Each structure stands twice: as C-alpha cells, then as structure tokens.
C-alpha cells in the first residue's frame, strides 16, 4: 500500500511599500488570513514598515528591499516629488531585479505587492494592492500624466486589488471609482482593527504615522497642545525602530509604537482619535466607529481629498497641520457622527482564497 503524496505548500512573496505605516497595517489582515491557508509567506519591505512587520510576524522571514526614500519637505509637493522621480525609479528597477532573484531562491509561486511597483514577474501570478487608480495632484492639468504613469506600472501586474467596496457605501470616492480599469477586484475594507466595547481609559489617543519630516512636525504640535487636556491621553509615535515609552505631564503617556493587538485595545479604550487622514487610518476608523480629528499630511493631495470628503459629510473634524488647534477641534467633536455605515471587512478573504487556489 502506497502512501498519499504530500504536495508542497504554495509560497507567496508579500511586498509592502514603506510610505508611513499604512501600507503595512492594511496588509496585516491579508497576511494573517493567508497564514490560515496552506501557504508559506516571505515578507519584503524596508524601513519602519519592515520593522513593524517583523514585530507582528516574528516567525516569518522579512527581506530588505531598496528604499524609495520619499521625503515630503518643501512647500511644493509636485516639484518635491518630481525631483525625486529618478531616485524612486532607480529603486523600483533595483527591487524588480531583486524580486527575480527572490523568486528563484525561495521558489515563489505568487506575488502580492502593496503599492511596490517593481515586485512583479512575467513568470508567476503577480497582483498589486492600491486604492489609487485615479491619481490626484494639486494641478488639474497634471492629473492625466500622473494617471498615465501610475497605470503604466499597474499594467505590469496580472491583477489590481482595490481595498474598498465596489459600490456604495465606499471610503475612497473618486480615487478608486469612476474610471474603468481592466483586471480589477475589490477587496472590501481592509482593517487590522476590531471594534470592542471596552471601558474608556483615555480621553484622547494620537496615532502618528507618515513620511518625515511631517510626522515629527505634527508630533511637536500635538505634544505642545495636548498637555492642556484635562483627561488621560496617549501618544503613539509610529516609530518602530526601537521601543520606548515615557510619561508626559500628569496624565499623558508617549510610546514609540504598539502592536496591532495593543493598539486595537488602546483605541477602543479611547474617546477621540487624532490621526492623519491616510487611507489605512480611514479604513480602521470605519470599522471601529470612533470619532476623530484628522490632520492631512501637508501637500499630500490624496489625504487632503479624503479629509475634505469626510468633513463635508460631517463624519470627522478636519484641520490643516499649520492651523491645528486642539481646543477648537474638541469643541467640534460632539457635532460629528463618525462612521455610521456597517463595513464588515471580510470580503478580502474570498478574493484571497480564490487567488491562492489558482496558484
């Protein structure tokens, strides 16, 4: 009697852009679900995103990829990014070459990329996750070129997965809807957070993220003003390089970072959230149902669009970074609704299961 042949599990390379922590945080539920399937996962990223992944998944190998090193300094975002395009393109080409070597070394069967444009292959299935099929810039005349460049790279992949609902209600608006794009699948809302009914411990929690130097500039403003708040508060810096924490004033605490589990608990124990209007943060808030003060990263058009859209619907309080006034924002909080729609956050599981089955 011969024993049944045991087939080797599929190996997936999951690559994540290091642009703040949003791409890493929204990928966490995908990675966790894949680990429940018969697959092996190799992670790849750089910088703070890589450090976060290593904290969340210490048992998985996490490969260092070339850094894009995007900096949001200066007063003109378009000119700032334009000057960095050669550097970014070089990094994309380097990571593409490295991807081919990783595929051969680890015998990879499929690739999932969260917004890394160079981690695709013509030999194995490759998908890219993005919520921006319609790039917005501060200048209408520049949008067609930005969208052409974006789609040039998206077409390198077999599929485009969009983390949002295809119909209404949705979170991304025109960023992910309204323009036909081939080979698209909507994942639904991707959130690493889960709503829990816990006693309130903090009046405020500030969750920082995003590219430097703007992350640090916002942190300074929040620390300066939050000391006047007459309730316990917590500041999560989003600095994953090393862990540190300290007291600030009589009722405040600062911590460099929290794991998903601990952050989920801290936000559920908080009355109001202060955060960037990054798309991953918006998805988390949609699941948690919390009221929030959103501060777009200066000159980041996507965040400004999302914040403006949510402010017009009276869902959140929105302030520009250079006009940040915590006292004023807190006075407006009672007149906002937070998200009222029910976003279940489970659709991505069906998409993942179907894709893994084709490998």
Q: What is the CATH number of the domain that holds 159?
A: 3.40.50.2000
Q: Are residues 225 and 179 in the same domain?
A: no
In a domain, 3, yes or no: no
Residue 134 shares a structural domain with residue 39:
yes
At residue 75, the pLDDT reads 60
Q: Total structural domains in the chain? A: 2
* Max Cα distance, the chain (Å): 77
Q: What is the dihedral of CA 153, 106, 62, 71, to 10 degrees?
A: -20
pLDDT-based confidence at 83, cuts 50/70/90? confident
Same domain, 40 and 61: yes
Q: 79 and 183 share a domain?
A: yes
Span 139-149, mean pLDDT? 83
Tell me, yes or no, whether 248 and 124 share the same domain: no
The answer to the question of residue 340 being in a domain is: no
Q: Residues 31, 108: one domain? A: yes
Please check whether residues 162 and 296 belong to one and the same domain: no
User: In the chain, pLDDT over 70 holds for what percent of residues?
Assistant: 94
pLDDT for residue 88: 85
Residue 248 pLDDT exceeds 70: yes
| 34 & 176 share domain | yes
44: domain range?
Answer: 10-190+345-358
Strands, sheet with 291-294, edge to edge from the N-terminal-most edge strand: 245-248, 252-255, 233-236, 202-207, 270-275, 291-294, 317-318
Residue 140 DSSP class: G
Q: Flag whether 331 is in a domain.
A: yes
Q: How confident is the model at residue 27 (pLDDT cuts 50, 70, 90)?
A: very high
Does the residue 44 lie in any domain? yes
Whether residue 57 is found in the same domain as residue 173: yes
In this structure, is residue 196 part of a structural domain? no
Domain-embedded: residue 4? no
| Judgement on whether residues 216 and 185 belong to the same structural domain of the protein | no
What pTM value is reported for the model? 0.87
Instruction: Give the H/E segment covering residue 351.
Output: helix 347-358
């Amino acid at each position: 009697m011969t024993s049944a042949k045991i087939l080797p599990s599929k190996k997936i390379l999951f690559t994540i852009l290091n642009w703040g922590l949003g791409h890493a945080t929204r990928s966490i539920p995908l990675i966790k679900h894949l680990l429940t399937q018969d697959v092996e996962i190799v992670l790849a990223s750089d910088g703070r995103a890589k450090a976060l992944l290593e904290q969340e998944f210490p048992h998985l190998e996490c490969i260092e990829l070339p850094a894009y090193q995007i900096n949001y300094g200066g007063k003109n975002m378009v000119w700032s990014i334009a000057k960095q395009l050669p550097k970014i393109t070089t990094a994309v080409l380097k990571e593409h070459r490295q991807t081919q070597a990783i595929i051969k070394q680890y015998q990879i069967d499929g690739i999932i990329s969260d917004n890394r444009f160079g981690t695709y292959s013509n030999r194995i299935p490759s998908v890219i996750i993005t919520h921006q099929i319609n790039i917005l810039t501060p200048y209408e005349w520049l949008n067609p070129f930005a969208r052409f460049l974006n789609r040039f790279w998206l077409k390198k992949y077999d599929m485009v997965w969009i983390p949002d609902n295809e119909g209404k209600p949705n979170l991304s608006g025109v960023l992910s809807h309204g323009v036909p794009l081939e080979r698209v699948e909507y994942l639904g809302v991707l959130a690493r957070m889960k709503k829990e009914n816990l006693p309130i411990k903090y009046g405020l929690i500030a969750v920082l993220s995003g590219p430097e130097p703007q992350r640090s500039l916002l942190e300074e403003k929040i620390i300066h003003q939050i000391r006047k708040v007459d309730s316990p508060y917590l500041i999560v810096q989003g600095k994953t390089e090393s862990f540190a924490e300290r007291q600030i004033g009589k009722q405040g605490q600062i911590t460099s970072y929290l794991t998903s589990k601990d952050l989920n608990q801290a936000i559920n124990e908080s009355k109001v959230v202060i955060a960037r209007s990054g798309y991953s943060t918006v998805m988390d808030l949609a699941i948690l149902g919390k009221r929030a003060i959103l501060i777009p990263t200066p000159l980041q058009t996507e965040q400004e669009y999302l914040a403006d859209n949510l402010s017009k619907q009276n869902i959140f309080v929105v302030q520009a970074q250079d006009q940040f006034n915590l006292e004023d924002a807190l006075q407006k909080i009672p007149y906002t609704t937070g998200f009222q729609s029910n976003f279940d956050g489970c659709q991505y599981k069906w998409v993942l299961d179907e894709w893994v089955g084709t490998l």
